[in-house]
């Protein structure tokens, strides 16, 4: 069995425990080495160093990887650096897969709504097709990621053929912004004798 170095791309903030479930699973299975994991404190420190430092970190983490697994939570598709990691992975020639993690309980012991597919944020210049049209996605819980992750990785690597087409980034969806709350109107008082 070949050793596979997998780059994991994810949104740090909202999905810490969900990411941990997938990460800890990988530590239990032979033949998989994780790249791209960084804890929240290290990430905050890296962000303080600026965009160039983050780009360099991504490039370093991608070295020696053959596949990028994007862990998709409720807000993953909106995240700038996740989108950059997807783009750099594609340019490097990594196979790509997406794994929905919204069904894993978070720190609050609740699940979240399924987020949009981040691969829809990219389209091919020649064909106009979305990157999502060639990237297989799975649901960690519904598709039994604990037992099938290694198979997903091997299948993606074996079947990956980078199209002879350049990718264009589309603008990722913006998170919903709550609008102002309009208080309900008080009922109109009727004057005695009016209709």
- pLDDT digit string, tens, across residues 147-179: 999 999 999 999 998 888 888 887 665 655 555
Low pLDDT (below 70) residues in the chain: 1, 26-31, 35-40, 171-195
Q: Is 104 exposed, middle or buried (0-12, 13-18, 19+ CB in 10 A)?
A: buried
Tell me what pLDDT residue 180 has: 52
Tell me what pLDDT residue 102 has: 95
- Look at residues 70, 75, 69, 79 and name the one whose alpha carbon lies nearest to residue 14: 75
Contact 87, 162 (CB under 8 A): no
pTM: 0.82
Q: In terms of DSSP H, where are the helices of 6-114?
A: 16-28, 40-48, 51-62, 80-92
Domains present along the chain, CATH in parentheses? 4-169 (3.40.50.450)
Tell me what pLDDT residue 164 has: 83
Structure tokens of 146?
Answer: 């604990």
């Amino acid at each position: 069995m070949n050793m596979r170095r997998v780059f994991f791309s994810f949104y740090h903030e909202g999905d810490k425990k969900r990411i941990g479930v997938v990460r800890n699973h990988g530590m239990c299975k032979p033949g998989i080495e994780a790249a791209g994991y960084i804890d929240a404190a290290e990430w905050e420190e890296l962000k303080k160093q600026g965009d160039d430092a983050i780009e360099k970190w991504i490039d370093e983490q991608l070295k020696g990887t053959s596949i990028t697994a994007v862990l998709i939570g409720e807000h993953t598709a909106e995240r700038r650096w996740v989108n950059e990691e997807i783009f750099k992975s594609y340019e490097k020639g990594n196979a790509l897969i997406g794994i929905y993690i919204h069904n894993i309980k978070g720190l609050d012991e609740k699940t979240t709504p399924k987020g949009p597919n981040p691969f829809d944020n990219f389209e091919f210049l020649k064909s106009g097709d979305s990157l999502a049209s060639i990237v297989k996605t799975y649901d960690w819980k519904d598709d039994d990621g604990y037992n099938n992750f290694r198979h997903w990785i091997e299948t993606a690597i074996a079947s990956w053929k980078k199209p002879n087409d350049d990718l264009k980034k589309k603008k990722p969806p913006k998170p919903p912004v709550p609008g102002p709350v309009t208080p309900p109107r008080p009922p109109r008082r009727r004057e005695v004798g009016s209709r």
